[in-house]
Structure 1
């Protein structure tokens, strides 16, 4: 298998075509419907035709407009509570009917959906969010030992459990997890660090450094679980954690990871090129390597494109 370039790796996560008028964009969007707020203003996400067909039957709750290619929540759902109940009751009924395969990954976690900006519009079961193309959020932490006079920079890299329903046995960021309601960003980071890697909360509070975010527009594949082609725009809040040789190493706690390896940049670049990282964690790793001067304009001719693709403008309302 030929080595994947950094740009090809980022494109695996940022895989939805750009609005550039190209044939790829026209083909991708020609069949999509906008999922609109009850006031008809906000495009909360994009719906695939088979989801639209399922919503056609629910005329008491949604209005399907084929001319404008939109599905709108009915106006009477005018509170967060009403909308959240509507959406979660629907997701649960679809799950019980086994209507969509993606719902087999039910997590009993609520994800927040925002509209207007930073205002919660409703909350929805995590597994159902891709059916509606909703923006989701997560935290990713990279724990690393900086370079010294005699050793290169090294990163703690976990291998996902072979029994996971999504991306089994692939490589991951040191810690990563979705932000579920009502947890905040840093609260989620502390929780995930304890659950996935056994990191003490004091270590995270004192050492985790916020380094911004990445954003991309993912078209789900079979590796993600459920139906292929579902859309998942995502924003990940990124953190760096500088550790030392004496810091207690990460270890599997909740079974999400099988093992952690301390790898140098050459090893990580080789594993990236082989396609062994989960797509969005490959993107976060590349972002880390750029920020730490391991991927430079001299080494990477596509660095401007890389940075743009890793910080994509999301057309839907966001946090």
Structure 2
């Protein structure tokens, strides 16, 4: 009996240690974004920073949808996504989140996210296009591309067409005589510059180098949207209206352009140790200036809005840290 008790105690200790190791891993897997975008650059910078100051972290490629699913299932520890998408996932409010995710929560809202519909200027002038609404209403044949399925860009682009215009862009654009492609940021930029695309749509930060890159290669127009359409999208996805103001890009010279707005966030598995998450937030915020050199939008990181409003769920370690900093 004594040996049996000792065996049970040893087994209990092993199980406890195993559970602790699962909650407090020796290394983290940070799921970034596709090559060429802000998420890819910032993911590497964050992984390097956390590896040096907090815990060894490996940056791997990912996408906004996949990062939520993988955090929920424990296949990754944390990664980039969009706050509105996390809200949809936590509610299980629609494909690909048919049932609520329980283990994916928010570590922080980082910076604003803009959805751009970049059109070649010669295409816009040829058809006298006034906005994305105009293009859709007139069913103009368009060679169109966005990022691949599973990315935040494709998710919200699909949502814009679906909730804003009541159509499936993958079918509608082809029916109008156009085409649909999926490309990386850099691949799409090259395609539109080489006149293989008419419109390239994606989500990225307020000041985006990829937009500037496209502008340097060809003349473009950023297609805006009518407020009624923006409101329809917001009612379903919780997005807001942002404006692209003159002076940011050379293609926007006088009138602000209304686009779908959201936030880039970091989603984290909820069963990750509270102190680990607290320390990740602390290291990130205390090195905000360094991170802004990788992606200038990190200057927008603000403790007062780092935690989104209920009912969106955030990690307890993140809530603790951001509340402490905001109170100072």
Same fold (TM over 0.5): no
Structure with a larger share of its residues in strand: 1
Q: Give me the TM-score of the superposition, normalised by structure 2.
A: 0.27
Q: Which has the larger radius of gyration?
A: 2
